Amino acid sequence: MSKILVTGGSGYIGSHTVVELQRAGYEVIIVDNLSNSTVGVIDRIGRISGKRPFFVKADCSDRGVMRDIFGRGNGIDGIIHFAASKAVNESIDKPLHYYRNNLDSLMTLLELMPEFGVKGIVFSSSCTVYGQPDLLPVDESAPTKVAESPYGNTKQISEEIIRDVINSGVSFKSIILRYFNPIGAHPSAEIGELPNGTPQNLVPFLTQAAAGIREELLVFGNDYNTPDGSCIRDYINVVDLAKAHVVAMHRMLECLECDSVEYYNLGTGKGVSVLELIDTFERATGIRVPYRITARRAGDIEQIWADSRYANEVLGWRAEETLEDTLRSAWKWQQSLV
Ligand code: UD1
């Protein structure tokens, strides 16, 4: 049974991925500094899967601790690296924190991997690397654009660091996964997104507004060049997204003739506007969302959705959940919190 180190494994996408890795028979070690999650998530993962994953509270830029974890006879085969700061606005206020935190942790892992014979690293990247693409849907060959935020820049730089390290002739491989907009929660409502303070992302804010925790959802702009004037994104179910990590890990560990670095878009292939998403939520749950149109948010791109055919064909993966079911899962999760 292969052993996988999941950094940031108690976070939103990380926790869902740990559940799917365990279901697929992998043994999981989580390293998380709990900066944006709680140890209770580890118990909740255990309740879903029937097996509490091995957990170490640590920062993965701490080389001493990480060397200990790799060396403890653990025989780690692969890494999925989620641990990172991810708030776009915060990154504008604290750029050095973002560069230090997101890049140091990655470089520490890359330095230790050859020493301990780790075969590969799956990296959490983002469609933010494409900026506003010239062609839609956007595929993996599209050029990366100047990043809109230090957060986005850390994703671009991380991709470049991985590529350069692999090109230097190390023996491990990497798969870079470019997520579109992950939303929803595990159907059990044991795990989901736990925003710190006021949510910055659309769906957590929407479900809090629907629950009466927020007075109203502000829709950032209805004067974009889109059919209803609001921005368009590709919203991907978090469990579907988690499953993509399992197939990516399998490919990285087993495939002999694969490229040493591969890039995959993970989205549904369908663009949905903010107003459409609100309408779909209301229809799927029967709950009204109080909302108001307001000014555009600085840094938002107008529209983006994925061409995920490469992941469909090569990984044999596709997004399966409907937007209705995904929004129902987000609502169920929200209700479990109040
Ligand atoms: C951003 C990041 C992305 C990151 C993701 C998760 C960029 C360009 N995008 O995505 O890389 O992975 O966050 O952290 O850096 N909206 C509202 N009202 C709200 C909140 C959002 O109308 O209260 C709208 C936004 O204008 C946008 C859409 O909803 O059109 C989605 O916004 P959000 O959930 O914040 O994700 P992104 O900005 O697309």
**CA angle centred on 179, ends 115 and 160, rounded to 5°:** 45
Catalytically active residues are 151
Tokens of 87: 């708030």
Please answer whether residues 294 and 219 qualify as being in contact, where contact means their C-beta atoms are separated by less than 8 angstroms.
yes
State the pLDDT confidence band at 196, using cuts at 50, 70 and 90.
confident
Q: What are phi and psi of 76, to 5 degrees?
A: -75, 125
| Residue in 86, 126, 203, 279 to alter for ligand 1 test, most ligand atoms within 8 A of Cβ | 126
- Residues at CB less than 6 angstroms from ligand 1: 86, 88, 126, 128, 148-149, 152, 181, 200-202, 205, 217-220, 231, 233, 274, 297, 300-301
Q: Which atom of ligand 1 is nearest to the CA of 127?
A: 11
* Residues 6-31: tens digit of each pLDDT: 999 999 999 999 999 999 999 999 99
- How far apart CA 105 and CA 99 sit, in angstroms, is 10
**C-beta of residue 55 within 8 angstroms of C-beta of residue 42:** yes
What is the residue with the minimal CA distance to atom 35 of ligand 1? 201
The model's pLDDT over 38-74, given as tens digits with 9 standing for 90+, comes to: 999 999 999 999 999 999 999 999 999 999 999 976 7
User: What are the pLDDT digits (tens) for 100-111?
Assistant: 999 999 999 999
What is the per-residue pLDDT for 272?
98
In DSSP terms, 120 is beta-bridged to 78, 173
Identify which of 188, 280, 265 has the alpha carbon closest to the alpha carbon of residue 228: 280
Ligand 1 center–CA 201 separation, angstroms: 5
The amino acid sitting at 70 is F
Q: Give residue 230 CA to ligand 1 midpoint distance, Å.
A: 12
Cα 163 to Cα 110, 157, 158, 304: the distances in Å are: 11, 10, 9, 25
**Could you tell me the pLDDT band of residue 318, with boundaries at 50, 70 and 90?**
very high
Spatial distance between the Cα atoms of 112 and 23, rounded to a whole number of angstroms: 28
Distance of alpha carbon 186 from alpha carbon 198, whole angstroms: 22
For residue 55, the cross-strand partners are: 30
Cβ(74)–Cβ(3) below 8 Å = yes
Ligand 1 nearest atom to the CA of residue 179, by list position = 12
Average pLDDT over residues 181-194: 98
CA of residue 47 to ligand 1 center, whole Å: 31
In the chain, what is the straight-line distance between the N-terminal and C-terminal CA atoms, in Å?
39
Query: pLDDT band for position 238 (50/70/90)?
Result: very high
The mean pLDDT value for 189-212 works out to 96
Test site for ligand 1: of 124, 145, 202, 230, most ligand atoms within 8 A of the Cβ: 202
Cα(297) to centroid of ligand 1, in Å?
Answer: 9
pTM recorded for the entire structure: 0.97
Per the rule left: phi > 0, alpha: psi between -120 and 50, beta: everything else, 50 is left
User: What is the distance in A from the centroid of ligand 1 to the CA of 151?
Assistant: 13
Closest by Cα among 153, 176, 172 to 96: 153
Q: Torsion over CA of 46, 37, 16 and 278, rounded to 10 degrees?
A: 130
